[in-house]
């Protein structure tokens, strides 16, 4: 689908759709029903649509517009961690979950203290890499992060990546096994 056709399709549907095709690949204009600031690109490789899209929000009709503070946190997360990571990996990164309003977070049974609610976390997958491989690659880049949690395939097979400027980043690496809970990972 040509970009113009894609944009028209999204406008026609009137909903936010995860721009998986953009996926940290070629820059693409995202379209969604939010303020002007959040139209288009958030960073070099990521659009606002990619980090605010929520299947649960669309399904349940919930507003998932980040407030200014969370917008600023998302901009820092992309500028400091996600864009450089995408550059160094040299392969597309798909954001499977980014910002979550409190209502959206409840709808997806997120942790009540989830950094997704402050715009400080994204769940990602990278083409051709397992969650474990992606977690290891993130650690090896030396980029700053607060938490990297790699999930077993049974729990989504994604990597939760967070970054904060409210306090020192913990650089904590955890594994979320199929059986539940979290264990410290040696990858740090
Ligand atoms: Zn997460």
Give me the residues near ligand 1 (ion), CB cutoff below 5 Å: 123, 160
Distance 77 CA to ligand 1 centre (A): 13
**By three-state DSSP, how is residue 142 classified?**
coil
Distance 116 CA to ligand 1 centre (A): 6
Q: Is the pLDDT of residue 104 over 80?
A: yes
Q: Is the pLDDT of residue 2 over 50?
A: no
Look up residue 61 and give its two tokens: 């009709």
The Cα 143–Cα 158 span in angstroms is: 19
Distance 97 CA to ligand 1 centre (A): 7
Distance 122 CA to ligand 1 centre (A): 6
The model's confidence at residue 39, banded by pLDDT at 50, 70 and 90, is: confident
Contact 45, 81 (CB under 8 A): no
Bridge partners for 125 per DSSP = 94
Tens digits of residue pLDDT in 162-182? 999 999 999 999 999 999 999
Distance 27 CA to ligand 1 centre (A): 24
Distance 147 CA to ligand 1 centre (A): 10
Distance 160 CA to ligand 1 centre (A): 4
Distance 121 CA to ligand 1 centre (A): 6
pLDDT at position 185, please?
A: 83
Bridge partners for 123 per DSSP = 97, 160
Tens digits of residue pLDDT in 45-58? 999 999 999 999 99
- Per-domain boundaries in the chain: 50-184
The model's confidence at residue 16, banded by pLDDT at 50, 70 and 90, is: very low
Contact 52, 66 (CB under 8 A): yes
Distance 5 CA to ligand 1 centre (A): 31
Tens digits of residue pLDDT in 106-160? 999 999 999 999 999 999 999 999 999 999 999 999 999 999 999 999 999 999 9
**By three-state DSSP, how is residue 87 classified?**
helix
DSSP state of 72: H
Distance 8 CA to ligand 1 centre (A): 30
**By three-state DSSP, how is residue 149 classified?**
strand
Contact 34, 55 (CB under 8 A): no
Tens digits of residue pLDDT in 55-97? 999 999 999 999 999 999 999 999 999 999 999 999 999 999 9
Structural class in CATH, domain 50-184: alpha beta
């Amino acid at each position: 689908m040509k970009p113009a056709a894609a944009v028209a399709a999204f406008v026609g549907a009137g909903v936010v759709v995860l721009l998986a095709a953009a996926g940290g690949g070629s820059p693409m204009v995202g379209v969604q029903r939010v303020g002007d600031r959040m139209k288009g690109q958030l960073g070099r490789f990521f659009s606002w649509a990619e980090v605010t899209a929520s299947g649960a929000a669309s399904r349940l009709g919930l507003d998932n517009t980040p407030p200014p503070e969370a917008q600023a946190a998302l901009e820092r997360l992309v500028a400091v961690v996600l864009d450089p990571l995408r550059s160094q990996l040299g392969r597309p990164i798909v954001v499977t979950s980014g910002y979550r309003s409190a209502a959206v977070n409840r709808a997806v049974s997120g942790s009540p203290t989830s950094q997704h609610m402050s715009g400080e976390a994204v769940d990602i997958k990278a083409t051709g890499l397992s969650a474990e491989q992606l977690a290891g690659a993130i650690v090896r880049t030396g980029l700053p992060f607060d938490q990297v949690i790699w999930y077993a395939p049974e729990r989504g097979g994604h990597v939760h990546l967070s970054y904060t400027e409210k306090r020192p980043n913990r650089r904590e690496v955890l594994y979320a096994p199929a059986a539940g809970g979290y264990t410290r990972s040696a990858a740090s």
